[in-house]
């Protein structure tokens, strides 16, 4: 009596492996899809709720003549608030001043942060972790506390004036150190320098050390190696740190309020006044959107002119 051998058994063990692999591939594909959407959906919902929705509300408020009837009241949109901005050039002059101050703060913070990042990347050695922790210590204290510390230092009875008076360099306290744009710039440079150092450090750490050895073997001097290797390859980190400082500084209002006073006001202080003291939300919203559009336009033009890829190449 002959027995029939199953087709799959006659086909050999490879058929079993192939048949068993199909549900595994489907399961892997399903797991990848679940993982992908599980990682994408939460941050997308977060951005939609706390970025896109407030931005849309600001746009809606800026197109209203006033807030009578509520934010979502059925009122025909108007450009009166933007017309008001155009009719009062003092607002735009203050915006230009804020951009100039932000450029100065970003440039100074980048210039001070680069040597710090260079030291941590190439000279600190085994103590790089310790020095990095020391660099990050200011982050552990309150931002307001650090700003107030500079207010104490720059004040008429502060550390700087006390030193000048005790050494006889001045007969009376120096008044220009506080409640002006100089005090705002100094304080913001101090606040932002550790932040700017981090992306520069990340860019420097990606440089292959063998490039320095090869350049030295070819007779390159240390200065030439710095200009031809370090600067071009660290350019993306430098640019990222510069704009990471520049963009939020344009709309800064806390630091000018504490150490700048009326003589050191920036565009952000004007927006704050319209939202709080003047209770003119539509005009404040219009000014916010003008600041957002102007800053993004400036950054886009600057990146197009600088072209980081060309620098790296």
Q: What average pLDDT does this structure show over 101-122? A: 96
Which is nearest to 60 in space by CA: 247, 269, 69?
A: 69
3 against 29, higher pLDDT: 29
**Looking at residue 25, what is its pLDDT?**
79
**Phi then psi for 138, rounded to 5 degrees?**
-60, -25
Q: What value does the mean pLDDT take over residues 16-26?
A: 58
pLDDT reported for residue 8: 46
The pLDDT mean for the chain works out to 87
pLDDT digit string, tens, across residues 268-307: 999 999 999 988 999 999 999 999 999 999 989 888 887 6
Q: Which residue has the tokens 């951005």?
A: 47
Write the CB contacts of 102 (distance below 8 Å, at least 6 apart in sequence). 245, 246, 247, 249, 250, 252
pLDDT (tens digit, 9 = 90+) per residue, 43-97?
A: 999 999 999 999 999 999 999 988 887 776 778 889 999 999 989 999 999 999 9
Express each pLDDT in 142-154 by its tens digit: 888 999 999 889 8
Note the pLDDT of residue 83. 93
Query: Is the pLDDT score of 240 beyond 80?
Result: yes
How deeply is 79 buried, as exposed, middle or buried, from its count of CB atoms within 10 A (0-12, 13-18, 19+)? exposed
CA distances from 86 to 80, 266, 280, 282, 306 (A): 10, 18, 17, 15, 31
pLDDT at residue 309, rounded to an integer: 62
41: enclosing H helix or E strand: helix 13-47
For residue 241, the model assigns a pLDDT of 95
Q: What pLDDT, on the 0 to 100 scale, is given for residue 16?
A: 44
Query: 3 pLDDT exceeds 70?
Result: no
pTM of the model: 0.84
- What pLDDT sits at residue 24? 80
**In angstroms, rounded to a whole number, what is the distance separating the alpha carbons of residues 304 and 308?**
8
């Amino acid at each position: 009596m002959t027995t029939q051998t199953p087709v799959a058994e006659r086909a050999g063990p490879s058929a079993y492996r192939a048949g068993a692999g199909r549900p595994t591939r489907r399961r892997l594909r399903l797991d990848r899809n679940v993982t992908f959407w599980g990682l994408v959906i939460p941050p997308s919902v977060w951005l939609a709720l706390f970025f896109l929705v407030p931005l849309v509300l600001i746009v809606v408020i800026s197109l209203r003549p006033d807030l009578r009837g509520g934010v979502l009241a059925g009122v025909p949109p108007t450009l009166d608030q933007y017309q008001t901005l155009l009719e009062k050039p003092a607002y735009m002059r203050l915006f230009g001043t804020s951009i100039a101050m932000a450029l100065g703060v970003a440039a100074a913070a980048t210039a001070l942060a680069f040597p710090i990042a260079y030291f941590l990347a190439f000279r600190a050695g085994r103590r790089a972790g310790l020095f990095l922790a020391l660099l990050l210590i200011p982050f552990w204290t309150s931002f307001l506390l650090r700003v107030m510390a500079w207010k104490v230092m720059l004040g008429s009875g502060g550390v700087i004036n006390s030193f000048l008076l005790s050494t006889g360099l001045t007969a009376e306290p120096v008044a220009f150190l506080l409640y002006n744009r100089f005090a705002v710039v100094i304080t913001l440079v101090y606040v932002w320098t550790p932040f700017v150092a981090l992306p520069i450090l990340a860019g420097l750490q990606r440089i292959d050390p063998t490039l320095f050895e090869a350049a030295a073997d070819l007779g390159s001097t240390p200065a030439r190696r710095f200009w031809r290797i370090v600067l071009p390859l660290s350019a993306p980190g430098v640019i990222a740190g510069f704009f990471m400082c520049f963009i939020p500084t344009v709309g800064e209002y806390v630091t000018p309020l504490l150490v700048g006073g009326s003589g050191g006001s920036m565009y952000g202080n004007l927006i704050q006044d319209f939202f709080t003291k003047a209770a003119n939300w539509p005009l404040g919203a219009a000014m916010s959107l003008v600041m957002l559009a102007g800053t993004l336009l400036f950054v886009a033009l600057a990146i197009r002119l600088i072209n980081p890829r060309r620098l790296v190449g």
